[in-house]
């Protein structure tokens, strides 16, 4: 029975947000706190020889921390131990942290940062990913025999279609910059950090390593967080270690809040990519073979690159049936600022390439792009590139039918009309995509995410999870799930603040896993608690709960995630069930291109999405609209470029994101094909909308201008070059 | 951090903040944003960029929407300053809460204050709020979460609620 699931509960933190009472990290006033800042490298590659200080600089006015002052390992704990907390000698990227400074006030800190000059011997830097000799990770996915398929092609009369696609980096641009406050070890030796972050247990792990302390000696508390989108997955660990090291040196709390310039300059962004596709297609449009080569720029350190590459490769063949598939992926070292997690996590890059390839096939074979996708789309019972047999909750046909019905794209003469030559050209473009929910492969088995529910003394139920509310609606989602699982009112439920001292590690708030994975644990925990408390359901919950507490019943239930039994993954062969389930979606972008300026206006954006079950439909729509706009922004106006290893867009005046005036009207269709192992049938939705926007807009540009867009963002400057190249051919 | 503006000798200021008279002493170029957040401890006004690009720090000065990160406090001496903590925003706040206008919430105070300015303008012009009007009015307020659809819907709902009053 669902009363709140599928309906509406108020965001528990919402009232505070709309009245300005929410406390974000910059709002937290801590008496006696010092301010922290970072001395950074001004070259992309080199050797640190030491520091020079301005002659009038009073070193006693501040506290300084260098690599040699780190009590534990000088390692930013994540996947591979290659990134130092502070560079000791080798410098791998512009803006690399070299020394930390704390001062009692902002003016002293500013003066100190200006007075400290690192002495660096610069060395030649590497920025071209294609010529990088060092891969952080290589992945091969092999299904069937691509070589044999291409060898047979000529006799079979198949057509080979080749493409090369590029995607540039993208800035998450959460509106609240990175920041945290660290307290020095208390009398129990506990180091505490509060901050703007997605994954408190990641930060705790980083502090443990930095200080060489046990888990219970590092406490991390999430403050209200002003957006993340992946940007606050791994990077807050860097800020937290820095602040905590300074707090130790000062013996007082230290606050580090990045200003926007610093945030844009040094925090990880989306991996740039080059994807080469070679498709073999029967003349009537059936995909015969796909050979895909994925290259991503990882930047200076490994960070999360292996996992980003993994998700990118697994999604590289798209949601299409293809017997012979080969995907080769590499993410390589360069001297760029490390790239990292951003909503979609590798999939938007490869989705762009495969969707553009589908359009190229459609145009070459003169098949309507909707028909081509409909013909080749995966359905229940089909196998993906990793050999995963799709069993449950496969909404491919449903989303395609819905997008056709809403947008009329199936009847649109795509690329059939002679393009306008003056005024404005209109275009319609389609994308079709899927996105695996939860950690890849055996990731969830390793994470062992846990959730706890417990009765408070007043009989209310507390939900304790390490999952964070970062705007997407975790609090309201958990509230609805818990209320319906316990069959009680939301007023009888409290969502605990993510504080590693009190909540279990639910795994990180990433990978579209909070609702599906953590939410499924929550339903089980609530069902167990409800059964334990018992009593007649006619009686109010708190009455029953208090009676149970008086009887000294065990009022706490912890549930750990267990993958569904039929999910199997072979990490060596990159084979099997990459994800327990996929979300499915189709987008149609309707655009107008000004034929003089080549500016693009996205007028309408249709999206039809199979979410399993919308726990809170308004929140899901909010995720889909917001994610789609990020994708639309990336498609044509969010430019991120580098020069000598430095991001050229160093402020919001140049690092632009869509405003209300750059935003289409959205038309969202929610489709619910329930997933048996998700809470109330739900599956992940957070990242999915990031995948389809760029290829849909690119497809619409092709429709409007007749040029095959191969790189995003498709800025007017780039389109002009493409058009000139076409006209001189 | 714009501490360089705090170097000069403080001056005496009087502001009316959300209806209360505040007397304080601050360097003339100190940002109104810092005066509000640090000197008066009204932290509802947010800093997203510190250079007038994001709109998160929007407040009303004598009824006009201003970016408080760009306003030196000496310019608002004697002015009426209204922030997200003002009590005439309830219908807008309710609409944002009910219609999904707030996700992470960091742009929300600026959005709501700017919506106040827009609805007040509509009232002065004796015109109705429209989606295109709301788009124009909020074009300087960045949001990265919502795709703006539900923010624009919230503005129109708030306008309707206020008209019905």
Q: Which CATH number describes the domain made up of A273-440+574-728?
A: 3.30.365.10
CA-to-CA distance for B51 and B40, rounded, in angstroms?
Answer: 21
Nearest to B31 by CA among B48, B17, B51: B51
**Which residues does A348 contact at the CB level (< 8 Å), separation at least 6?**
A167, A270, A631, A634, A690, A691, A694
Confirm or reject contact between A654 and chain B (CB < 8 A). Answer: no
Say how many CB pairs under 8 Å bridge A and B. Answer: 178
| Cα torsion through A67, A68, A70, A75, rounded to 10 | 50
pLDDT higher than threshold 90 for residue B2? no
Burial class (CB in 10 A: 0-12, 13-18, 19+), B35: buried
What is the tens place of the pLDDT at every residue in B64-107? 999 999 999 999 999 999 999 999 999 999 999 999 999 999 99
Q: Where in chain B is the domain with CATH 3.10.20.30?
A: 3-82
CA-to-CA distance for A202 and A307, rounded, in angstroms?
Answer: 15
Residue A684 near residue A512, CB atoms below 8 Å = yes
Helix (H, G, I), strand (E, B) or coil at A565: coil
Confirm or reject contact between A22 and chain B (CB < 8 A). Answer: yes
Show residues of chain B in contact with A224, CB under 8 Å.
105
- Nearest 5°: the CA angle A274, A278, A283 is 145
CA-to-CA distance for A385 and A387, rounded, in angstroms?
Answer: 5
Show residues of chain A in contact with B114, CB under 8 Å.
none
The residues with which B15 forms a beta bridge, in sequence order, are B22
Determine the pLDDT at residue A1.
Answer: 59
Chain A residue nearest residue B51, CA to CA: A652
* Interchain contact, A618 vs B150, CB within 8 Å: yes
Helix (H, G, I), strand (E, B) or coil at A583: strand
CATH of A14-23+449-560, one of 3.30.365.10, 3.40.50.10680, 3.40.50.450, 3.20.20.100: 3.30.365.10
Q: How far is B10 from chain A (nearest CA, A)?
A: 15
Residue A32 near residue A252, CB atoms below 8 Å = yes
Q: How far is A430 from chain B (nearest CA, A)?
A: 19
CA-to-CA distance for A345 and A308, rounded, in angstroms?
Answer: 5
Q: Evaluate whether ipTM surpasses 0.95.
A: yes
Q: Which of B6, B58, B106 is the best substitution to test chain A (most A C-beta atoms within 10 A)?
A: B106
Q: Which of residues 158-197 of A touch B (CB under 8 A)?
A: 172-177
Show residues of chain A in contact with B48, CB under 8 Å.
175-177, 260, 652
Nearest to B156 by CA among B103, B104, B110, B101: B101
Low-confidence spans in chain A with pLDDT less than 50 = none
* Interchain contact, A226 vs B105, CB within 8 Å: yes
Residue B162 near residue B88, CB atoms below 8 Å = no
Third-level CATH fold of A32-125+172-266: Aldehyde Oxidoreductase; domain 4 (3.30.365)
CA-to-CA distance for B68 and B45, rounded, in angstroms?
Answer: 9
A32-125+172-266 and A273-440+574-728: same fold? yes
CA-to-CA distance for A153 and A279, rounded, in angstroms?
Answer: 11
Helix (H, G, I), strand (E, B) or coil at B151: helix
Q: Which of residues 386-415 of A touch B (CB under 8 A)?
A: none
* pTM for the whole structure: 0.98
CA-to-CA distance for A678 and A656, rounded, in angstroms?
Answer: 37
* Interchain contact, B147 vs A618, CB within 8 Å: no
Third-level CATH fold of B3-82: Ubiquitin-like (UB roll) (3.10.20)
How far apart, in Å, are the Cα atoms of A408 and each of A20, A405, A533, A590?
Answer: 43, 6, 53, 11
Show residues of chain B in contact with A172, CB under 8 Å.
144
End-to-end CA gap in chain B: 42
Joined together, the tokens standing for residue A34 give: 């010092």
The residues with which A166 forms a beta bridge, in sequence order, are A274, A711
* Interchain contact, B97 vs A10, CB within 8 Å: yes
pLDDT higher than threshold 70 for residue B1? no
3-state DSSP of B54-112: CCCCEEEECCEEEECCCCEHHHHCCCEEECCCCCCCHHHHHHHHHCCCCCCCCCHHHHH
Q: Which CATH number describes the domain made up of B90-164?
A: 1.10.150.120
CA-to-CA distance for A310 and A325, rounded, in angstroms?
Answer: 16
* Interchain contact, A259 vs B1, CB within 8 Å: yes
* Interchain contact, A653 vs B51, CB within 8 Å: yes
Chain B residue nearest residue A628, CA to CA: B147
Show residues of chain A in contact with B145, CB under 8 Å.
227, 471-472, 622, 626
pLDDT higher than threshold 80 for residue B6? no
Residue A526 near residue A452, CB atoms below 8 Å = no
Nearest to A23 by CA among A201, A184, A191, A223: A223
How far apart, in Å, are the Cα atoms of A255 and each of A24, A135, A289, A361, B34?
Answer: 13, 36, 55, 55, 16
CA-to-CA distance for A117 and A473, rounded, in angstroms?
Answer: 44
* Interchain contact, B97 vs A13, CB within 8 Å: no
Determine the pLDDT at residue A422.
Answer: 81
Residue that has been written with the tokens 């201003």 in this structure: B66
The ranges assigned to domains in chain A are: 14-23+449-560, 32-125+172-266, 273-440+574-728
**Which residues does A72 contact at the CB level (< 8 Å), separation at least 6?**
A208, A209, A210, A211, A212, A213
How far apart, in Å, are the Cα atoms of A361 and each of A120, A327, A369, A708?
Answer: 52, 19, 8, 11
What is the tens place of the pLDDT at every residue in A486-510? 999 999 999 999 999 999 999 999 9
CA-to-CA distance for A686 and A468, rounded, in angstroms?
Answer: 13
Determine the pLDDT at residue A421.
Answer: 77
CA-to-CA distance for B56 and B47, rounded, in angstroms?
Answer: 6
CA-to-CA distance for A103 and A643, rounded, in angstroms?
Answer: 32
Tell me which H or E stretch contains A1: none
* Interchain contact, A17 vs B102, CB within 8 Å: yes
Q: Where in chain B is the domain with CATH 1.10.150.120?
A: 90-164
Predicted confidence band of residue B165 (pLDDT cuts 50, 70, 90): confident
Q: Which of residues 262-301 of A touch B (CB under 8 A)?
A: none
Helix (H, G, I), strand (E, B) or coil at A102: strand
Q: How far is B86 from chain A (nearest CA, A)?
A: 9
* Interchain contact, A27 vs B43, CB within 8 Å: yes
Confirm or reject contact between A626 and chain B (CB < 8 A). Answer: yes
């Amino acid at each position: 029975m669902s009363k709140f699931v599928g309906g509406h509960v108020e965001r528990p933190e919402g009232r505070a947000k709309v009245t300005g009472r929410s406390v974000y990290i910059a709002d937290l006033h801590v008496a006696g706190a010092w301010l922290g800042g970072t001395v950074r490298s001004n070259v992309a590659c080199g050797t640190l020889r030491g520091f020079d200080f301005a002659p009038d600089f009073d070193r006693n006015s501040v506290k300084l921390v260098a690599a040699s002052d780190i009590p534990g390992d000088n390692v930013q704990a994540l996947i591979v131990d290659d990134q130092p907390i502070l560079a000791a000698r080798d410098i791998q990227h512009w803006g690399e942290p070299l020394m930390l400074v704390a001062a009692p006030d902002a003016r002293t800190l500013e003066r100190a940062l200006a007075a400290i000059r690192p002495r660096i011997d610069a060395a030649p830097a590497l920025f071209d990913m294609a010529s990088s000799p060092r891969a952080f990770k290589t992945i091969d996915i092999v299904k069937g025999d691509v070589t044999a398929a291409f060898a047979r092609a000529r006799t079979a009369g198949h057509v080979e279609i080749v493409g090369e696609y590029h995607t540039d980096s993208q800035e998450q641009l959460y509106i609240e910059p990175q920041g945290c406050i660290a307290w020095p070890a208390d009398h129990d030796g506990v180091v505490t950090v509060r901050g703007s972050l997605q994954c408190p247990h990641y930060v705790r792990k980083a502090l443990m390593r930095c200080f060489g302390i046990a888990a219970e000696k590092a406490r991390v508390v999430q403050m209200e967080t002003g957006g993340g989108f992946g940007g606050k997955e791994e990077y807050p660990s860097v800020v937290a270690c820095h602040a905590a090291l300074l707090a130790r040196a000062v013996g007082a709390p230290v606050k580090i809040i990045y200003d926007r310039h610093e945030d844009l300059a040094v925090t990880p962004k989306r991996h740039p990519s080059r994807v080469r596709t070679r498709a073999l297609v029967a003349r009537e449009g059936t995909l015969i073979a796909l050979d895909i080569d994925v290259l991503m720029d990882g930047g200076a350190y490994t960070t999360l690159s292996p996992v980003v590459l993994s998700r990118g490769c697994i999604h590289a063949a798209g949601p299409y049936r293809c017997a012979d598939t080969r995907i080769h992926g590499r993410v390589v070292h360069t001297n760029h600022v490390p790239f990292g997690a951003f909503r979609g996590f590798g999939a938007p890059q490869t989705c762009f390439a495969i969707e553009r390839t589908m359009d190229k096939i459609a145009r070459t074979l003169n098949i309507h792009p909707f028909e081509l996708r409909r013909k080749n789309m995966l359905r229940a019972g089909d196998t993906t590139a990793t050999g995963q047999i799709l069993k449950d909750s496969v909404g491919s046909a449903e989303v395609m039918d819905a997008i056709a019905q809403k947008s009329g794209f199936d009847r649109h003469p795509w690329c059939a009309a002679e393009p306008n030559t003056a005024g404005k050209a209109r275009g319609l473009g389609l994308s079709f995509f899927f996105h695996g929910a939860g950690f890849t492969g055996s990731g969830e088995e390793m994470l062992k995410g846990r959730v706890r529910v417990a009765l408070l003394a007043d009989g209310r139920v507390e939900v304790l999870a390490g999952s964070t509310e970062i705007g997407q609606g975790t609090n309201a989602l958990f509230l609805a799930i818990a209320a319906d699982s316990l069959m009680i009112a939301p007023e009888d439920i409290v969502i605990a603040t993510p504080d590693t001292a009190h909540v279990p590690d639910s795994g990180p708030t990433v990978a579209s896993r909070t609702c599906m994975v953590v939410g499924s644990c929550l339903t089980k925990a609530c069902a167990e608690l409800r059964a334990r408390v018992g009593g007649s359901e006619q009686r109010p919950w708190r009455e029953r709960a208090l009676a149970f507490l008086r009887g000294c019943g065990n009022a706490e239930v912890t549930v750990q995630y267990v993958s569904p039994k039929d999910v199997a993954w072979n990490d060596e062969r990159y084979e099997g069930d990459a994800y327990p389930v996929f979300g499915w979606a189709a987008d149609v972008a309707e655009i107008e291109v000004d034929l003089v300026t080549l500016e693009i206006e996205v007028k309408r954006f249709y999206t039809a999405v199979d979410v399993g079950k919308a726990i809170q439909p308004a929140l899901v729509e909010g995720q889909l609209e917001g994610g789609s706009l990020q994708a639309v922004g990336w498609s044509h106006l969010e430019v991120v470029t580098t020069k000598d290893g430095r991001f050229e867009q160093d402020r919001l005046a140049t690092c632009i994101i869509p405003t209300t005036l750059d935003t289409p009207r959205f038309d969202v269709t929610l489709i619910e094909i329930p997933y048996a192992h998700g809470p109330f049938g739900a599956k992940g939705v957070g990242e999915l909308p990031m995948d389809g926007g760029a290829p849909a807009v690119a497809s619409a540009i092709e429709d409007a201008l007749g040029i095959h867009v191969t790189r995003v963002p498709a800025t007017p400057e780039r389109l002009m070059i493409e058009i000139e190249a076409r006209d001189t051919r | 951090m714009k501490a360089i503006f705090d170097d000069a000798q403080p001056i005496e200021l009087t502001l009316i903040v959300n209806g209360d008279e505040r007397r304080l002493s601050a360097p003339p170029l100190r940002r109104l944003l810092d005066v509000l957040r640090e000197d008066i401890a009204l932290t509802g006004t947010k800093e997203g960029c510190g250079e007038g690009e994001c709109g998160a720090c929007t407040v009303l000065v004598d009824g006009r929407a201003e970016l408080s990160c760009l306003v030196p406090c000496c310019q608002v001496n004697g002015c009426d300053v209204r922030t997200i903590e003002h009590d005439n925003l309830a219908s807008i706040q309710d609409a944002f809460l009910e219609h999904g206008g707030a996700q992470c919430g960091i742009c929300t105070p600026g959005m709501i204050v700017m919506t106040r300015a827009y609805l007040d303008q509509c009232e002065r012009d004796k015109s109705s709020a429209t989606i295109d009007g709301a788009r124009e009015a909020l074009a300087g307020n960045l949001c990265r979460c919502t795709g703006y659809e539900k923010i624009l819907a919230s503005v129109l709902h708030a306008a309707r609620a206020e008209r019905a009053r």
